[in-house]
Structure formats: structure tokens, C-alpha cells
A = this chain, B = another copy of it.
């Protein structure tokens, strides 16, 4: 490590040094336990300087124009004199270890601005890992003085649910007339959404846009109301043509005003911390489980019976737990 101590890197992050911030996130994401522990100690130190940013989740089905929207929205925020961090959650294959391609080319202006920080969070196929690592990235960005943190997900269901639990506000990008392949997922995301932004209106017939908007309004009626007391809104515009971007921000400010006045903000942030404990518990236990070689030996002993179908995988797992975790 190039930083001699936690106070050093902590001070650099608080001074807004993006190299230090980037490195700290890398430590948090590292598979090496020493790096993870270093990151967690660092976060402990920085906790008093976290919590002040607006944490916004942005999602949308493939083709909804997320990158272009974030580029426009991010630049808009910078013109409001705000510092913007973009964390892209990447549910990349655990086989390929691939990642969302070229964030620099996806968000060209934003990536050049010194008021912005763009960072993909590689998850290596571990969905549990998504929020854990993204949560740490959020805290670290806050300590580095970012005012708005945009957490981008690919809009395919699972990651949204997790990201929902580490953000305050949920923005769902949609375009007019999409397939029904993701209906089930869409309903779930609609339920989480605080604002639905009908994007790319410059590319569609205004009538189609209007129809889609009406359809959505109808769907919203069937959703349970939000705990925050906020009523879901549908806006329209275009990230590419810079239309309706300011309205999104207005709604976000309105939302924060509401939840800060009705006590929901405090309550939500505390509940989110409690949920993080559960996630870390699972993560740590599973990690330790994998390191436990005694289990591997017992599995090996059962291998032949398993091959001959005399015992099922479930039965072996059940017995292993009875033998090794009597306290559970």
C-alpha cells in the first residue's frame, strides 16, 4: 500500500483527492481480507463525515438511455455547483469477470469534469457483493465531499432491489413501448420507483409518448403507496436532447424536503444500516464456511454414495450443518 496509515488516506479522501478515493474503493472491493479490513477501518474513521449526500438510484431497461441521461443530468448538477459521483453497479458474469464497457466513452463530458467521479463497481457475479461494496463506495464518496451520488444499475431486477436498500431515491428510466419480457421485473421496479422518467421523447411520436404515460399512470394506481408518503411521479423528456432534466432534480429536491420533514429520512437511513448488518453477516459466514476444510472432508466421504444416488445433495448439506453447527 502506498499510504502509510489510515489517518493519511483518510485525510486525503476528506480533502477530495480522487486518487485516494479510488484506491480506498479498490481496497473495499478487493478479495484479499487484509485490504477489506483496511477499508473497513478507514470507513470507521470516516463515518462522521458520511451521510450528507443525496443517494439516488438510477435504473432502466437496456436501451432506456441510462448513460446519456446520467451524462446530461450529471452535467446539470455540476452547473448547480454540485459535486457528482456516479457508481455503476455491474452484475457481470462470474465466468468472464467482464465489466460495463468504457465509462469514459459512455459519459464523455462528465468523465472530463473535475467535479465528477465515475466508478463502476465490479461485483464478480456476487450479487450479495453488489450492495456491500457499493455501500462502501457511497460512504467513501460522501467523505470525499460529493453532494450527489448516482448509483446506476442495469435494470434487470435483482440488483435494483439491493441498491434500493442503500439509496434514498429511486429513478426509473423508461422508453415508450417496450417488450413485455421483463414485465414482472418492471412491476417490481415501478414499485420501488419514486420518479419514472419517460426518456427519449425526442425520438417518439408525441402521441405514443402520451399513451405510454397514460398506461403508466394506470399501472401506478395498482401499486401500494410508499412508506415515505411520497406519491410516485411520471416525468418525460430526453437525456440526449437535454429536455426535462431540471424537472427531475426539482422532484428530487421536493422528495427530500418531504422525507426530511416527516421523519422518514432518519428512519430509512437507520433501517438501511441495520439491513447492512444482515448482509455483512451472511457474507462473512459464507466466506468462513468456504474456508472450513472439515466440511470438504465430510463431503469427500459422502462422494461415492452421492454418485450412486443413495444420498441427495440436500441430505448431505443437512447433515453437515447438524454435525458442525449444533448451535444453529
CB-contacts of A116-137 with B (<8 A): 125, 127
Task: Name the residue among A63, A184, A285, A321 with the largest chain B CB count within 10 angstroms.
Answer: A184
Bound CA span A215–B320, Å: 48
Contact check: which of B154, B277, B327 meets A182 at CB < 8 Å? B154
Please tell me which stretch of A42-50, A107-115, A228-236 contacts chain B, meaning at least 4 of its Cβ atoms lie within 8 angstroms of it. Answer: A42-50
In angstroms, how far is the closest chain B Cβ from the Cβ of A107?
Answer: 14
| Beta-carbon contact of B184 and A100 below 8 Å | yes
Whether A262 sits at the interface, judged by CB under 8 Å, is: no
Bound CA span A282–B183, Å: 30
Contact check: which of B66, B125, B279 meets A158 at CB < 8 Å? B125
Please tell me which stretch of A6-14, A89-97, A200-208, A239-247 contacts chain B, meaning at least 4 of its Cβ atoms lie within 8 angstroms of it. Answer: A89-97
CB-contacts of A175-208 with B (<8 A): 179-185, 187-189, 191-192
| Beta-carbon contact of A281 and B276 below 8 Å | no
In angstroms, how far is the closest chain B Cβ from the Cβ of A294?
Answer: 9
Whether A324 sits at the interface, judged by CB under 8 Å, is: yes
| Beta-carbon contact of A184 and B90 below 8 Å | yes
In angstroms, how far is the closest chain B Cβ from the Cβ of A51?
Answer: 8
Contact check: which of B62, B295, B303 meets A181 at CB < 8 Å? B62
Number of residues from A at the complex interface, CB < 8 A: 81
Bound CA span A279–B311, Å: 16
Task: Name the residue among A43, A93, A307 with the largest chain B CB count within 10 angstroms.
Answer: A93
Task: Name the residue among A91, A192, A310, A320 with the largest chain B CB count within 10 angstroms.
Answer: A91
Bound CA span A276–B44, Å: 37
Bound CA span A154–B181, Å: 8
* In the complex, chain B residues whose CB is within 8 Å of the CB of A180: 101
| Beta-carbon contact of A185 and B93 below 8 Å | yes
Whether A280 sits at the interface, judged by CB under 8 Å, is: yes
Bound CA span A43–B316, Å: 13
* In the complex, chain B residues whose CB is within 8 Å of the CB of A273: 306-307, 313
* In the complex, chain B residues whose CB is within 8 Å of the CB of A185: 91-93, 98, 154
B-contact bits for A286-320, CB 8 A (1 contact / 0 none):
10110010010001000100110111111111101
Q: Supply 6 further A-B pairs (C-beta < 8 A) apart from A100-B183, A274-B303.
A: A44-B312, A51-B309, A270-B306, A277-B299, A283-B317, A324-B327
Q: What 3 A-B pairs have minimum CB-CB distances, sorted nearest first?
A: A93-B188, A280-B317, A276-B313
